[in-house]
Amino acid sequence: MSSWSTVFVTGGAGYIGSHCIVELLDAGYSVIAVDNFANSVNGERGEAPSLKRVERITGKTVTFYQCDLLDKPRLEKIFSEHKIDCVIHFAAMKAVGESMQVPLLYYKNNIVGTINLLEVMKTHGCYQLVFSSSCTVYGNPDVLPITEEHHTGNVTNVYGRTKYFIEEMLKDISAAEKNWNIICLRYFNPVGAHPSGLIGEDPTKAFTNLMPYMAQVAIGNRPNLTIFGGDYNTVDGTGVRDYIHVMDLASGHVAALNKLKKEHLRLKVYNLGLGTGLSVLQLIREFEEVCGESIPYTMGPRRVGDVDSLVCDAGRALTELEWQPKYRIKTMCEDFWRWQTMNPNGYRGNSNNSASSENGRTSVIINGSELMDTDWAQLWEPFVQGGL
């Protein structure tokens, strides 16, 4: 087995990247992270607030650089200053709706940025890569659940096309150059937050995912939720998705690294999801039960590029990566509500004042019960050691 120690993480200050870094640090890796703050909050002096909290959770240090992958000379400089064993590539513009409005921005950022990264990796003899792909590469699927053998390319939105084009590019380079060892992870719909409540999803744009939008309504920061489309061919007319806890997704990346250590795959693709579909209205009801608040909504038109249902078959990852997701939808909702309650303004507010406090103890409502008996610092320890 290879003795890797240092992982380079692009988009490391983002939602999925920051949670993955927790798992990487806990697994014993050193992490060098970069981010241009296109999808994440920028702190003082170019610091990443999410990664400062990752350091609090793990008790370990993250080396961070503010860097855009379009800035190839800066990327080259970072690689020159560190011995990097493997890359996990998250960095991308990622909103389906926005991608249909500004396609050139998506093509340039996602595809050109990836080309720059691959060229710099090759220059420095680093050929180990885990690529953050997406279930959007499947388009509107013919059958459910979706296996990795389902055809790709009939993609319905620009964001998904950038992921598809990058996957095709990775196929070509791995076929042409035997040194490459690449795993593409096709995510379904990550939700939830680290159970400490310290890190979570903090959207920086109006184009946001469903769960943070719901939570903003439940906490009173928004008046109502807009559901995009109520006439899909689903159980209740709203879109059906396969939701996966972000910490399960993070553990999938560590499992992928372990696989690359053991085998020279050239290129392999894995789905990461639970294999259970939930409609928008069903997810709203689950979240209302957890937070004890009503989430009013209005029904809007479909978004261009959305599809009816996306549900995965993750059997290959379960078997070959020896990956096992732990969390179900109730825990996903609980963990995100904890994050939202402790941080109503995300990383841009003072977390000490973002939930009610008394004598250094924090009160958070979960399932109608007030958690106030234990300092959150004490609660973090079991979460860091083994999860719920």
Whether 310 shows a pLDDT value over 80: the answer reads: yes
Lowest mean pLDDT among 26-40, 163-177, 338-352: 338-352
> CA-CA distance, 38 to 41, in Å (whole number)?
8
With a CB cutoff of 8 Å and minimum separation 6, the contacts of 181 are 127, 128, 129, 260, 264, 265, 266
Q: Domain with 219 in it: what CATH number? A: 3.40.50.720
Selecting among 15, 138, 159, 232, the annotated active-site residue is 159
User: Which pLDDT belongs to residue 85?
Assistant: 98
Q: How confident is the model at residue 2 (pLDDT cuts 50, 70, 90)?
A: low
Active site residue 327: no
25 pLDDT more than 60: yes
Structural domain count, the chain: 1
CB of 371 closer than 8 Å to CB of 364: yes
- Quote the pLDDT of residue 358: 36
Classify each residue of 78-98 as buried b or exposed e, where b means 16 or more C-beta atoms within 10 Å of its C-beta.
bbeeeebbbbbbbbbbbbbbb
- pLDDT, tens digit (0-9, with 9 covering 90-100), for 37-87: 998 999 878 899 999 999 999 999 999 999 999 999 999 999 999 999 999
362 pLDDT exceeds 50?
Answer: no
Q: Is the pLDDT of residue 357 over 50?
A: no
Q: Does residue 68 form part of some domain?
A: yes
275 is a domain residue: yes
Confidence (pLDDT) at 386? 31
Residue 224 lies in a domain: yes
Residue 361 domain flag: no
Rounded CA-CA distance 198/286 in Å is: 22
Q: Is residue 274 part of a domain?
A: yes
Taking the CA atoms of 251, 60, 373 and 371 in sequence, report the sign of the dihedral they define. Answer: negative
What residue type is assigned to position 183 of the chain?
Answer: I
Residue 349 covered by a domain: no
234-251: average pLDDT: 98
pLDDT given at position 258: 96
pLDDT over 50 (residue 219): yes
On the 0-12 / 13-18 / 19+ scale of CB atoms within 10 A, 52 is middle
If DSSP codes are grouped into helix, strand and coil, which group holds residue 112?
helix
Inside any domain, residue 377: no
Q: What is the mean pLDDT of residues 130-157?
A: 96
The model's confidence at residue 350, banded by pLDDT at 50, 70 and 90, is: low
Q: Which residues pair with 298 in a beta bridge?
A: 226
Predicted pLDDT at 363 = 41
Q: Which two tokens stand for residue 112?
A: 């050109």
In the chain, the percentage of residues whose pLDDT exceeds 90 is: 83
Residue 355 lies in a domain: no
Question: What pLDDT, in 10s, does the model give residues 96-127?
Answer: 889 999 999 999 999 999 999 999 999 999 99
Q: Which domain holds residue 185?
A: 6-342
